[in-house]
Amino acid sequence: MNAPRYRFAPSPTGFFHVGGARTALFNWALARQSGGTFVLRIEDTDEARNRPEWTQGIIDSLAWIGISADDPHFEGPLFQSEFFDAHLDAARRLHESGHAYYCEMTPDEIQARAAAEGTTGYGGWSRDLGLGPGAGRVLRFRVPAGTTVVHDLVRGEVEFDNATIEDFVLVRGNGTPVFILANVVDDMSMRITHVVRAEEHLPNTPKQQMIWEALGEQPPIWAHVPVLVNEQRKKLSKRRDKVALEQYREEGYLADAMVNYLMTLGWSPGDTEIQPWSAMEPVFRLEDVNKSPAFFDLKKLAAFNGDYIRMLSADELAAACEPWLPAEWDRAPFRQMVPYIQERLKTLAEAPAAVDFLYVHDPAVDQESWDKAFAPDYALALLRDVIGAYETCTWDHGTLKAAMEDLMTRYDVKLGKASAATRVAVTGRSVGPPLFEALEVLGRDESLRRMRDAVTRAES
């Protein structure tokens, strides 16, 4: 048997959808594990909605998730608009063989006739008129009687009663082929063996299978992967949900985390869900993909991302954060802080806010944190004592902590309470990176200056 040929066929009409990314990854795993091919076909025939930057967005997004145009398994991008003649040629053949016929009824006429007959939709009324092509005439497929059975690797055998499928349009009155036809003809001429795509295309599939058969070809193997839904179990939508892969990238999700998470939507990589691509690629099987909708869980995605962030070395994480760091920041203190912020980061974009106290002369003070830290009657005296201890002790986080613990015993409070005023004095906030490590990186002079300023402010 020849090596399988998969394809991913997005329409460049907007940002790259996370659902599209998941479909692409499934196809990519299948193509690579079988020594086959992944064809990228840009379905750019909707001229009103296409934009070249969306096409570039698709290519860039695919590359980001590891689907690289340089890989030997990758073919394309091919552009649907370049195969216009082939689409029309197939339409002509379907007409010549009697599988399609011209119809000149307008939508209004169809509606009126259906209403008069007490039905809905188009009733095949022009089937036997023998019309030839002409301006304003659409070409319709002559849907045969009987049933159409779609063998789907995810959904099993799906049976469609042909009586529920009207004689659908193949070519519009203005002479342009519709999606259903163009999509089949391209799959055919690109010798696609497996069509793995989103569930929303399942209703098109019996129609497309009929076209394959009418053109005398063996239909591909079909697989419709489950739709992605949000927390309310509603299909992810551009309006309601954050669906653009680009956006996740901008917010500092790691590509590896995103890839891993997307692969778990409708499929399980085994006992543990956190798995590198190299472990998932060889074992992914369509037969194991779930039929039910897959919940795109933002919290789980963030948790995956946090796990992947923690798997990086400090140097790798520092490098990964680069695009989010202001150009003027000295990288040395940032690099020192990385191990201390790594534990809590959910996204790379959170990194600057976790360390910005290092880079501002006077960090903005959160008033609520300030009030709380200085409310206890011991707070000011304790802070003065911390300053005293910190003026002379060795400047490393272990010693700084020990000195604070010593004072906490004297004041009979817990460590968190004892260090609250120091924290707000130095960072402006009540929560943040580990305090003693932060002090160590900030340095003695600057830490003490901020603490003394806080004393002055608290006294006034």
State the residues that interact with ligand GLU by CB under 6 A: 9-11, 43, 183, 197, 201
CB 283 within 8 A of CB 270: yes
Alpha-carbon dihedral sign for residues 173, 174, 177, 180: negative
Q: Which of 203, 254, 251 is nearest to 350 (CA)?
A: 251
Residues 180 and 185: their CA atoms lie apart, in Å, by 9
Distance of CA 408 to the CA centre of its chain: 48
Active site residue 291: no
Residues 86 and 185: their CA atoms lie apart, in Å, by 7
Buried b (16+ CB within 10 A) or exposed e, 246-283: eebbebbbbbbbbbbbbbbbbbebeeeebbebeebbee
Nearer to ligand GLU among residue 10 and residue 428 (C-beta) = 10
Least separation in angstroms between CB 49 and ligand GLU: 11
Residues 407 and 439: their CA atoms lie apart, in Å, by 17
Single out the catalytic residue among 207, 234, 235, 238: 238
CA-to-CA separations, 68 to 8, 28, 256, 265, 341, in angstroms, rounded: 13, 10, 14, 22, 32
Least separation in angstroms between CB 157 and ligand GLU: 20
Least separation in angstroms between CB 10 and ligand GLU: 5
- Pairing status of strand 74-79 against strand 147-152: unpaired
Nearer to ligand GLU among residue 84 and residue 359 (C-beta) = 84
- Pairing status of strand 169-171 against strand 138-141: antiparallel
Least separation in angstroms between CB 236 and ligand GLU: 14
Nearer to ligand GLU among residue 211 and residue 351 (C-beta) = 211
Least separation in angstroms between CB 197 and ligand GLU: 4
Nearer to ligand GLU among residue 9 and residue 435 (C-beta) = 9
Nearer to ligand GLU among residue 50 and residue 183 (C-beta) = 183
Which residue type sits at 167?
D
Least separation in angstroms between CB 362 and ligand GLU: 52
Nearer to ligand GLU among residue 207 and residue 450 (C-beta) = 207
| DSSP assignment string, 127-175 | TTS-----TTPEEEE-PPSSEEEEEETTTEEEEEEGGGS---EEE-TTS
Nearer to ligand GLU among residue 202 and residue 426 (C-beta) = 202
CB-based contacts of 111: which residues, under 8 Å, 6+ apart? none
Q: Which residues pair with 229 in a beta bridge?
A: 235, 295
Least separation in angstroms between CB 224 and ligand GLU: 10
Q: Would you please indicate which residues are annotated as catalytic (active-site) residues?
A: 238
